[in-house]
Structure 1
Amino acid sequence: MKKLGHMAGHILMVIVALLFLTPVVWMILLSLKAEGSSWFQSSGFLGLNLTLSNYSKVLSQAPIFGWMGNSLIVACSSTLLILVFASMAAFTLSRNPFPGSKVLFFLFLSGMMIPSEATLIPLYIQMKDMGLIGSLESLILPAAAAPLGIFVMKQFFDGLPKEMEEAARIDGAGAFRIWWNIFLPLSRPAMSALGIFSFIGAWNDYLWPLVSISNKAYMTITLGLPSFQSAYLQQYSLPMTANALATIPVLIVFILFQKHIIKGIAFTGGKEE
């Protein structure tokens, strides 16, 4: 009975995986289909009339790689800032408490309950006053204030034994050296989870870049794709081709960091051993 139960579970997982893969396969097939041609013809792979001409058309008509480059700069820079500032703030709140630190941590947590839409106007005014509106800096700097990152890192630092810190202080190490040489190397699971989710969140962000960026040279991939698709409302192949190209970096990140993503989901869910 146990074997039948395991087999049924595996079959169910395969079916669910195929359901999730269906939109991806559909997107790829549409990107390889010549515009205006029927699905099933005598030529092509498995009876499908497939072509790579759509990819050359898209690359010649839209700066896909430029948009990807902007998104990559924003996502990598935002992730680096989040990891640095969140870990430093979490280390201070966890290991160097001060009067009002608990209240400050509560204020950080309360920031997680505020929807991003509610901060658009004050954030826009602040970036405009700083002269950064319309630049990539306006997309990178706000990401440094990540309440979730502070929460995740503080929870991890709270679980580390105090004896290591006390031994380091006896040896003459200061707060910065303890954070850099001891706590950061030990927090790789938490840093990996936070870094991956921060990168994906910055890559997929749409609302704030839509408000902040008006220059086409600084458009991210989430802004560039809708502007390209709006010119081909009556077509399907070229927009799907652009979407297929835009998913390549995300697929590469997933393939390279698949184990870290799974561990990160388990860690943020409180199941990390």
Structure 2
Amino acid sequence: MVRLVLAFILALCFLIPVVWMLFVSVKTEGTPIKTLTDWFLPPYTFENYAHVLGKTKMLRWMGNSLFIALVKTVLTVLFTSLAAFAISKINFYYKQAIFLFFVAGLMIPGEATIIPLYAVIKDMDLLDSYLGIILPGIAAPLGVIILKSYFDGVPKEVIESAEMDGCGLFRIYSTIVIPLAKPALASIAIFTFIGSWNNFLWPYLSITSEELYTLPVGIPTLLSNYTMDYVTPMTVNALASIPVIITFIIFEKQIVKGISFTGIKG
């Protein structure tokens, strides 16, 4: 009972700011606020959304964020699963050393790699492009480690039986191992999508054209003109949050199941 009460209180702590944001986003701009309840009382209007969507580049930035997040998610899941499968199920020299290399990647903060990464992308002439934003984010050591430990749980007998039936490595990967790892793959995909959607630092450094801005980069430039009212900032942030909220609602079971199977904490 105590756990349920604590869980309910914790859920409210996370839910109240979201509810407040949504109510403020439909308030009339300039409405006087004298008490806390005034934030949640009429009048309401959706003109704020029409203004933001019609007179700014919000839709363009949202499309950029969605495209980058989807491509990055697909490529990350593909390459991390292939790397994890190779380390887990294929015998080759220095396999353990390569796995330790992935583990070591977790110890390096992302900020420490920004300067060399920027230099590499610049030398490849990929700055201010979709590829320049997407490619650096594909490297996901944590995903490789999680999937490798998951693939290790697939019995060797199953793999050997498939090999005896004439299955090649790629067919074993695609028809046996991947279907068994759907919860872990779903978890990695969802967290990659959300992480890409919220990413600010790298797109901010690698993009110079306003047409290529993602939402986290574009929103601050939009809000700099609105410092005296809460309504427009909350409208913009509500629009930016809606896709992530919808993603979580749709894939809630996969997220929970993936966390329970992969052992992710936090």
Q: TM-score, normalised by structure 2?
A: 0.93
Task: Say which of 26, 30, 35 aligns to 2:29.
Answer: 35
* CA offset digits 1:239-261 (Å, max 9, x no partner): 11011111110111011101111
Does the 8 Å CA contact 1:190/1:264 hold for their aligned counterparts? yes
2:143 maps to a residue whose letter is G
Residues 79 and 195 of structure 1 are in contact (CA less than 8 Å); yes or no, is this contact kept in structure 2?
Answer: yes
8 Å contact kept, 1:193–1:267: no
SS of structure 1 residue aligned to 2:224: helix
- For 2:3 and 2:94, how far apart are their aligned partners in 1? 50
Shift, 1:40, TM fit: 7.1
Cα distance, 1:184–1:217 mapped onto 2, change above 3 Å: same
**Deviation at residue 201 of structure 1 after TM alignment:** 1.0
Percent of counterpart pairs with the same letter? 47
> Runs of 5+ in structure 1 lacking a partner?
1-5
Decide whether the 8 Å contact of 1:32 with 1:241 is kept in 2.
yes
Question: Could you tell me how far apart the structure 2 residues matched to 1:169 and 1:20 are?
Answer: 50
Q: Does 1:237 align with 2:231?
A: yes
For residue 216 of structure 1, what is the amino acid of its counterpart? E
**Matched residue, 1:75:** 69
1:181 aligns with 2:185: no
Find the counterpart in structure 2 of residue 53 from structure 1: 47
Q: How does 1:1-273 map to 2 (within 5 A)?
A: 6=1, 8-39=2-33, 47-269=41-263
User: Could you list the per-position Cα deviations for residues 24-56 of structure 1 after superposition, in whole angstroms to 9, with x for gaps in the alignment?
Assistant: 122112111112112479xx9974322222111
Partners of 1:45 and 1:240 lie apart in 2 by 12
- The one-character-per-residue Cα deviations of 1:34-81 (angstroms, maximum 9, x if unpaired) are 12112479xx99743222221111112222221111111111111111
Greater alpha carbon shift after TM alignment, 152-161 vs 60-69: 60-69
Q: Is the 8 A contact 1:82 1:145 kept in 2?
A: yes
Aligned mates of 1:76, 1:254 — CA distance in 2:
15
Distance 1:107 1:36, change over 3 A: same
